[in-house]
Amino acid sequence: MHDEHNAPTLERTPKPPNLAGLGGRTIAGRYELGDLLGVGGFGAVYRAWDRTLRETVALKMLRRVNAVQLERFRREVSVLRLLRLPGIVHHLDDGLHEGSPFLVTEIVPGQPFPGRTPPCGWAEVADETIGLLETVARFHAVGVLHRDLKPSNVLMGPDGRPVVLDFGISWSTGYSHDAEGGGLLGTPAYLAPEQGRGDTCDARTDIYALGVIIYEAFSGRLPHTERTITRLLLAKTNDAPRRLVDIVRGVPRDVSDLVEAMLEPEPRNRPASVVEVLRALKDGRTTLTRGIAVTAAARAHSPLNAYKNPSWAVYGRRRRMVADRRGREEGSRLVGRRCEFLRD
């Protein structure tokens, strides 16, 4: 686990239990604990040596487990057993040791997304961005939401491919939302406004987090930098972040518009699925080739224009401009008609 780039210090963040003293112990007679890799809200992850397979693994150990935390742990185990997919950390083992649950996965060498220090140019992170979107699209396709996507939960492996970790607060169609236990789920800097309000989440919740991750990779800063949870959630709902194209040199306008759409406060105004985001990026990639100028005709036919052409869809500030120009009531009807495809 790694610290987030420029993540705000937030009030009332729970302090994790002290698990550093477990290093050097053997778990379940098989796993020799080594270095402490990271600590979360109710557990810790160690580098461990598997005596049976004679290989290095990652072992997550839970301590002070209550019923809600145990349910989340079972959920993570079930999700990882289900997700035998490229780009998802591989589940190896799980069990109990002296009453404490543990989970064993492959150890992923690498750096947090995008694998280099932001800010980055589009040419540097285009492949990594599309690889991350493809991975998220895979687990969305089987009914799994991550709900805690952030750079430290996406490690860039030696082959340059992203690997998604930590499904501890994920949700799948096999579980009820009732077992959340209250409180704020997710990392405040990356969670969507509806997640902060405790509303129902869907694929567009992860899309918002992806928008924050991509925005940060390009700009080296978060879209919103308020220092308390309350102010941060209010800003996410009410204040549009500065557009990437206005603060980062060389970011294609099409990509900036797409990220702006992903960061819309209202889920209904975001792209409906990660597949839709991918289609826009992949099909429009000829207009985004590493600094090569394109003709006006080629740009006009780019699918990325779906996120900036008022004749097809209205997002972000363009939506507000329509309301200002034609009157709030007329603008609202216009947005409703043009965004109808999001509700199909």
Residues sharing a CB contact under 8 Å with residue 338, sequence separation 6 or more, in sequence order: 310, 312, 313, 314
Q: Active-site residue 148, yes or no?
A: yes
Which DSSP symbol is given to 91?
E
Q: Find the catalytic residue in 94, 148, 206, 254.
A: 148
With vertex at residue 214, the alpha carbon angle to CA 142 and CA 81, rounded to the nearest 5 degrees, is 25
What residues pair up with 105 in beta bridges, in sequence order?
Answer: 58, 91
Q: 140-172 burial, b for 16+ CB within 10 Å, e for fewer?
A: beeebbbbbbbbbbbbbeeeebbbbbbbbbbbb
Assess contact for 106 and 90: CB atoms under 8 A: yes
Count the Cβ atoms, other than its own, within 10 Å of residue 31.
24
Residues sharing a CB contact under 8 Å with residue 190, sequence separation 6 or more, in sequence order: 4, 148, 149, 150, 209, 212, 213
Question: What residue type is assigned to position 258 of the chain?
Answer: L
Hey, which residues are catalytic here? Answer: 148
